[in-house]
Structure 1
């Protein structure tokens, strides 16, 4: 047997085996990496949605402000039929345009939270009559007196009542800012404070010049 010729052949076979082993090892490494990359992550509790991050103060704010806004809109709807001045009519339209969309926004929150949406207008909105505790609300006698007024008398009564009404809404909004947890509700409360404070100043000026 020629050992000199077999030695190079054995060396070549050994080199081939080593190379094959390296290739298999590399393939095995790739498979391990892919498997690790696609393995499911450890199960964790889902992050709460924005609708979940609210508290009782947020619910109370929406449930109280909806009928509160509805009464302001009802009062504003009276101006056309009661001989109100152009300035009072313009103010009433401004109030309606601001508060009607806010009612829709707060209604959406309550539905998302699975909470009761108030029905009706004003103090009847939450179904507990004059003891609702909502500041600035007009009772039935107030609304009846406003409904019977005409002209300048209506303007004066409307502005005086709406100032009280706005002050009540501002008090409710401040409570929401202090006690609420839901970001959009606190932002709306801030908007209400800003806009209605400005309208109160406008109405007081109108009473002085009227």
Structure 2
């Protein structure tokens, strides 16, 4: 019996050892998977950080410049409701507000997430210190003239100024598309180029040029 059972016990022992090894291996994989969770998170965290912060100086400059640029466009557009004589001009101004106000909020969120300064509303947008190179910005005198205008005179001034303003935005957006690194910013820049180029064409038609 002893001679016959010894091989059986040996076989059972071998099975037990094998099972233990398998379980240990599985446990190791599971543990590794558990570690892979944190380990994956740890490796993903830099990836996530890189994803959230995958931006460059051009992206920051784009947002910091386009926010006040949009703010001035909104300031101009809001004047149209009471001063414009053309319903088409009023409609255009309303569309500009609808498109650009959410973009301001989005870009503000980017800058806050990046730990960068957010331009304050009401600051000097005339292309002076801090805004040099912001193509298409109207001067204080330009804005004062627009505020004083009314009726058809307002329509002409508004359209003329907004064409220049939009052309500046298209230039800035074009630079972001070429040199930026942050996907959402480049996508917004593409939308700006498409949308404002179409509006430039529309405004030139309204001006009869």
Please indicate, yes or no, whether the TM-score normalized by the shorter chain is above 0.5.
yes
Kindly tell me the number of residue pairs found equivalent between the two proteins: 200
- Taking the aligned partners of 1:199 and 1:141, their CA distance within structure 2 comes to 24
Partner of residue 76, structure 1 = 77
TM-score, scaled to structure 2:
0.87
Deviation of the 1:88 alpha carbon: 0.5
**Per-residue deviation, 1:122:** 6.6
Tell me which residue corresponds to 1:188.
Answer: 188
Structure 1: runs of 5 or more not aligned: 1-8
Are the counterparts in 2 of residues 67 and 125 from structure 1 also a CA contact under 8 Å?
no
SS of 1:132's partner is: coil
Unaligned 5+ runs, structure 2: none
Name the counterpart of 2:90: 89
Q: Does 1:25 align with 2:26?
A: no
Q: Does 1:11 align with 2:3?
A: yes
Q: Are the aligned partners of 1:70 and 1:122 in contact in 2 as well (CA < 8 Å)?
A: no
Runs of 4+ in 1 over 3 A off after TM superposition: 39-45, 121-127
Written as runs of structure 1 = structure 2, the 5 A alignment for 1:125-204 is 128=129, 132-204=132-204
Shift in CA distance, 160/109, structure 1 to aligned 2, threshold 3 Å: same
Residues 92-131 of structure 1: pairs in structure 2 closer than 5 A: 92-121=93-122, 123-124=124-125, 128=129
Q: Deviations over 1:53-91 (max 9, x none)?
A: 000000000000000000000001111222431111000
Provide the rounded CA distance (Å) in 1 between the counterparts of 2:132 and 2:14: 81
Alignment partners' CA distance in 1, 2:196 and 2:50: 31
| Residues 32/124 of structure 1: CA separation in 2 closer, same or farther (3 Å cut) | same
Distance 1:127 1:32, change over 3 A: farther
Distance 1:147 1:70, change over 3 A: same
Shift of 1:177: 0.9
Q: Deviations over 1:8-27 (max 9, x none)?
A: x2322323322332232223
Identify if the C-alpha distance between structure 1 residues 195 and 59 changes in structure 2 by more than 3 Å, giving closer, same or farther: same
The alignment yields a C-alpha RMSD, in angstroms, of 2.2
Structure 2 equivalent of residue 34 of structure 1: 26
Contact preservation (8 Å) 2:112, 2:118:
yes
TM-score by length of structure 1 reads: 0.87
Structure with higher Rg: it is 1
Q: How far is 1:125 from its partner? A: 8.9
Deviation at 1:33, TM superposition (A): 1.5
Q: Is the 8 A contact 1:173 1:189 kept in 2?
A: yes
> Does structure 1 retain, via aligned residues, the 8 Å contact 2:135–2:169?
yes
The separation in 2 between residues aligned to 1:125 and 1:144, in whole angstroms, is: 12
Q: Secondary structure of the residue that 1:118 maps to in structure 2?
A: coil
